[in-house]
Structure 1
């Protein structure tokens, strides 16, 4: 018995003649006939872009099972696109259905569908951990929360890559505790203060300085002041005792250049 859902495929491949399968075939035939009348009938499309995308996903450590699940298609269909059907003596498919192509090409190697052991860029994980420490979360509390030994947690933050499963755990922990009180989870006042000092000494940005939409972006910088990237930003940095960030340095330099140009213009006019 097949576990294929009732519909067009089960009617054609498994011979099911139930109402649901029959109705699906009737709808398919109606749509096909209408598309043929309009000249838009395209039952097949080139398989090579699909094959190239599958190989790209595999290079990101996504297996066919994970890709098939993300695309909502049968794994054997993807295997046929890549390798053909040796038991039938056929090579890789040259053509595929447009709906299969669209489903596969829509799959991207996101954090949620990467294999747990995939090594990825650690930047987002580091930023989230640093931000939590900066607001008072002792590192050993964070380590315990994701099932790690404290010494291993600290080492993880120094490595050039991180396991995808650890990145997911740190992302979820950050989402749950970024605005929580560490004391409510057992952190002592002394531990909270030490965590804050530790982060401050290393210039780690707190949670309020990061936007969740850009915290994983290597080009993003923390928004320390609320006016970072403007001429007023540098003064706020000094007032709160935080080193001036690159956008504020650039804004300050640009303001100085503008003042010099204005003074030079005034001197020329005089």
Structure 2
């Protein structure tokens, strides 16, 4: 299943694109509360209302986890999930109104996380781009990164700037980044002149280094890199000039704010 290039604000956008606006945060909170209540409710009832479970399966579909995959992840029959969503069409029966608690719990246990998406599902490529670009900033050549990922050079060149990537690529890049972000590429065998050339490429493209990203921001499309350690404050602008990095948007905005009394 291919994710849309731009999702509406809500639970899926909160998880997939890490949008933290009020609409997405409330949708994610409501979803989590409903799911927890449904799980608690299902612990003692011989049959439970199917509607919260149905909504959960549909929410997983919005995230990119189709109902057939959800059934397989939960270890329940695809026929049962089909009836939950669509009813028994040949027999003209409406969608299921009640489900057994164990079935409900298994389906509700499937969470909208990257690990549950199919490898060919397409999602936002922000974090993938930033991780690869940060490694190039450190001196890792694109050809060496492509080799370590088992990817040809042309595909890698598209991936490092792509707005959408497949889940398998996201997972591979995260693993590569975790492996290499603290490793000196020259010490690992990259020739010094090639590492220097990689850094120049990163500088010319204004790619942000590893140190500019916090773990909780690198996947957020709305986040900006912290080039100076003080970005977003009046002090940050001066440091930009000192380190010869173009002033970022947060520092430009901070410079327009009136000084504190």
Task: Bin the TM-score by the shorter chain.
Answer: 0.7 to 0.9
Which structure would you say has the larger RCO, counting Cα contacts within 8 Å and 6 or more residues apart?
A: 2
Picking from 127, 130, 136, the partner of 2:133 is 130
Q: What are the residue-to-residue correspondences of 1:201-212 with 2, within 5 Å? A: 201-212=204-215
TM-score w.r.t. the length of structure 1 is 0.71
**For the residues of structure 2 that align with 1:41 and 1:197, how far apart are their CA atoms?**
63
Contact kept in structure 1, 2:139 and 2:185, CA below 8 Å: yes
Contact kept in structure 2, 1:64 and 1:75, CA below 8 Å: no
Counterpart in the other structure of 2:192 = 189
Aligned-pair RMSD on alpha carbons?
2.6
SS of 1:120's partner is strand
Q: What's the CA shift for 1:91?
A: 4.8
Q: What are the residue-to-residue correspondences of 1:116-265 with 2, within 5 Å? A: 116-254=119-257, 257-258=258-259
The Cα offsets for residues 131-173 of structure 1, whole Å up to 9 and x where unpaired, read as 1101111011111111111121002233331111011101111
Q: State how many pairs are aligned.
A: 218
SS of 1:232's partner is helix
The Cα offsets for residues 166-205 of structure 1, whole Å up to 9 and x where unpaired, read as 1110111111111111123321101100111110111110
Instruction: Specify whether residues 160 and 41 from structure 1 end up closer, same or farther in structure 2 by C-alpha distance, changes over 3 A only.
Output: closer
Counterpart in the other structure of 2:115 = 112
Instruction: Specify whether residues 41 and 150 from structure 1 end up closer, same or farther in structure 2 by C-alpha distance, changes over 3 A only.
Output: closer
The Cα offsets for residues 49-71 of structure 1, whole Å up to 9 and x where unpaired, read as 32233133234442445424544
Which of the two has higher C-alpha Rg?
Answer: 1
Q: What's the CA shift for 1:106?
A: 4.8
The Cα offsets for residues 90-125 of structure 1, whole Å up to 9 and x where unpaired, read as 653201245544553453332211111111111111
SS of 2:208's partner is coil
Counterpart in the other structure of 2:54 = 51
Q: What runs of 5+ residues in structure 1 fail to find an aligned partner?
A: 1-39, 263-270
Contact kept in structure 1, 2:53 and 2:107, CA below 8 Å: yes
- Deviating above 4 A after TM superposition, structure 1's stretches of 4 or more consecutive aligned residues are 83-91
